[in-house]
Structure 1
Amino acid sequence: MERSALDRALLTDRLDWNLLRTFLTIVHERSLSRAAVRLHITQPAVSLALRRLEEHLGHTLIERRGSNFRLTRPGEEVLRIATDVYGSVARLGAELTGQQDEVSGLLRLLTVSRIHSGVYDECLAAFHRQHPRVTLQVDVMRSSEIVDALAQKAGGVGLSLYRQSGDKLQHLLFLRQRYAIFCGRHHRLFGRTGLGISDLLAEHFVSFSSDQLGDVLAPLAVFRDQHGFSGGIVATSASLDEIRRLVFAGYGIGCLPEHIVADDVTQQRLWRLPPEEGVADIDLYLLWNPERRQTPAEAAFITHFRHYVARYSLMERLGDTVNAPLAALRTPTAEAGKKNT
């Protein structure tokens, strides 16, 4: 098959491969300033590298309007080619040493903050035992950024809240988190019993940035609208830890995952408010784009994750620790090997 014009331009010996590496970092970080931090260079140097690459290829690769960031069609093609190139480079060492069967290379995992699960912790430990040559890079991002990056093939694997849409991402349900309403020790409702929803309607709220119609935490906004909450939004954040902090400080009441703040309730830092059944179940998914060619490390992680967590119910995955015999914590490969001996 004849190579595209971009293929030929990228393979020419006149191309500085550092420009390609900078381009990949810009796409992964979705920001020139964050790419500069990642590469330990200045932001003007990153901007210059992008401009030089675009001039060499004769195409605009990235369109930026304020905080919006979008790859052009040539940009998507360059990303595909560059990802293939660097995937081949990552496999080069193993090929030269005759270790083709051992998975190695970089696994970049895009994830939301504060995943609270003993099963997840043990899953990562088992993956490292099974694939010690894989280097793991964990990038904490907002759910919307993760989904956008995966949809544009700028990332391989993500753990994120997800509202299924037309982006064709593959998704595997991992956690089902029950959100409930809490107030903090400094709030006037703290410690009060016998309350009903009607007692909360005029209270101010501390809200997630994504707690709005059309976003990943939309069920929380729908609940407030349906019940006629009239208090104002007095504080917002994209960080669960900051929402938890602001609720404790008495800025207002707020929705938080029950299993994450269970210790805060026990220690009387937070107080559970009605309704007793909670507000909404919000799901966390493992995500990947089936149209993006996976590296061996990404493919190995997806397979391992699917097999590992399938042994636990949704309720068990919310626990702090994995209360199971040691044999149950072995990797799927090890278990299969034992059965076949």
Structure 2
Amino acid sequence: MNPSVKQLRAFVAVAHSRSLAEASERIHLSQPALSIAIRKLEEAVGGKLFARTTRQLWLTPEGEAFLPVATRLLNDWTEAFDDLNERFLKKRGKVTLAALPTLAAGLLPTVIATFREQHPQINLSLHDVLAEQVNQLVREGRADLGFSVPPRESDDLTFEAILNDRYVAVCPLGHPLLEQTSVTWAQLAGYPFIGINRLSSSRQDIDRVMADVGSPLDMLCEVSQIATVGRMVAAGVGISVLPALSFRQIAATGIEYRPLVEPTIDRELGVIMRRRHPLSAAAMALLTLIREAD
């Protein structure tokens, strides 16, 4: 038994008008086609839905019972396709993002503002978390897009490079390192150092480079937030290393920075997505804006 949507529409139209002629005009279907649709529906359900007189149709008790069900089914059908159409038109839906704090504060605000102007009815959610958490949120489908460094050993994820960042030495105003146009990594070892969270991708890069140059840092303290690093450096507590992009999210009063060289480290940043999982129309629209913002 597989009644069609056409048959349901025919049944509801006739049930409301009690006339084949009126129902035919209402749903733009010829009377013979309407009669065939009703007959096939009755054959499918196994009994009569209408009692017929010479001039009018009346619902049988079974037809009366079925009318609200058929009406609900048609409404659900229409709403389902309206919802789907609105999602493709980006008039409805949700996009969830996961991003490193430097990207969440440095790159995404302008992009999100533009997206909201273009698609005000799409809900956005943003998680600013560490790199491994970005990977996990995307992997589990809890984030549509991730913005981070390239994931390691992740065959289930894809990475699309968007921009390159570089590390800089951050010092309080008047610090001797600021007299130079650039700072070598080895020079960092001579001053008290404010470290960022050990689990962050930036800290892992810093520790690896310092091990390579053979100059251990004089680690004064570790903090979790980049903004806190900026405040402590400005207060003269020590120096630090941060991604250049992070200066979009911290108050630069009282601090300056110089490029780090020997070696010069490029920090590739980009979009992380699940492999073999297509994006929604809304998520794709946001990704397009990210690509254009580079």
Q: TM-score range by the shorter chain?
A: 0.5 to 0.7
* Counterpart in the other structure of 2:21: none
Does structure 1 retain, via aligned residues, the 8 Å contact 2:87–2:93? Answer: no
Q: Tell me the residue number matched to 1:258.
A: 244
Closer, same or farther: CA 278–94 of 1 in aligned 2, 3 Å: farther
In the alignment, is the contact (CA less than 8 A) between 1:110 and 1:140 conserved in 2? Answer: yes
Residues 92-103 of structure 1: pairs in structure 2 closer than 5 A? 95=82, 99=86, 101-103=88-90
More helix by share: 2
Structure 1 residue aligned with 2:270:
285
TM-score, structure 1 as length reference: 0.51
Q: What residue is the counterpart of 1:235 in the other structure?
A: 221
Please tell me the residue identity of whatever aligns with 1:161.
V
Paired with 1:141 and 1:174, the residues of 2 have a C-alpha distance of: 19
Partners in 1 of 2:221 and 2:110 — Cα distance?
35
2:285 aligns with: 304
Stretches of structure 2 lacking an aligned partner (at least 5 in a row): 1-75
1:123 paired with 2:111, answer: yes
Per-residue CA deviation, residues 120-160 of structure 1 (Å, 9 max, x unaligned), is 44433443344332111222222221112222333322222
Contact 1:184 1:249 in 2 (8 A): yes
Residue 181 (structure 1) aligned with residue 169 (structure 2) = yes
Which of the pair has more CA radius of gyration?
2
Residues 233 and 132 (structure 1), Cα distance of their counterparts in 2 relative to 1, 3 Å cut: same
**Alpha-carbon deviation of 1:271?**
3.4
SS of structure 1 residue aligned to 2:190 = coil
Give the superposed CA RMSD. 3.8
In structure 2, the CA distance between the partners of 1:133 and 1:225, relative to structure 1 (3 Å rule), is same
Deviation of 1:227 after TM superposition, in Å, equals 2.0
Identify if the C-alpha distance between structure 1 residues 125 and 189 changes in structure 2 by more than 3 Å, giving closer, same or farther.
same
The answer for the alignment partner of 2:19 in structure 1 is none
Q: CA deviation at 1:279?
A: 4.5
For 1:285 and 1:195, locate their aligned partners in 2 and report how far apart those are by CA, in whole Å.
26
Instruction: Give the whole-Å Cα distance in 1 for the aligned partners of 2:129 and 2:165.
Output: 19
Report the number of matched residues. 215
Q: Report the TM-score when normalising by structure 2.
A: 0.58
CA spacing shift, 1:146–1:290, aligned 2, 3 Å = same
Between the aligned partners of 1:194 and 1:150, the Cα distance in structure 2 is 40
Given residue 145 of structure 1, which amino acid in structure 2 is its aligned partner? Answer: Q
The 5-angstrom pairing of residues 99-118 of structure 1 reads 99=86, 101-103=88-90, 104-115=92-103, 117=106
The 1-side partners of 2:165 and 2:135 are apart by 19
The answer (yes or no) to whether the contact 1:177–1:258 under 8 Å persists in 2 is yes
Aligned partners of 2:278, 2:249: CA distance in 1, in Å?
Answer: 42
What percentage of aligned pairs have identical amino acids?
Answer: 15
Greater percentage in strand: 2
Partner Cα distance (1:252, 1:206) in 2: 6
Aligned residue among 119, 127, 140 for 1:139: 127
Q: Which residue of structure 2 lines up, in the alignment, with residue 149 of structure 1? A: 137
**Residue 249 (str. 1) matches residue 235 (str. 2):** yes
> In structure 1, the residue corresponding to 2:220 is in which secondary structure?
strand
Determine the structure 2 residue equivalent to 1:56.
none
Which runs of at least 4 in structure 1 moved beyond 6 Å after TM superposition? 262-265
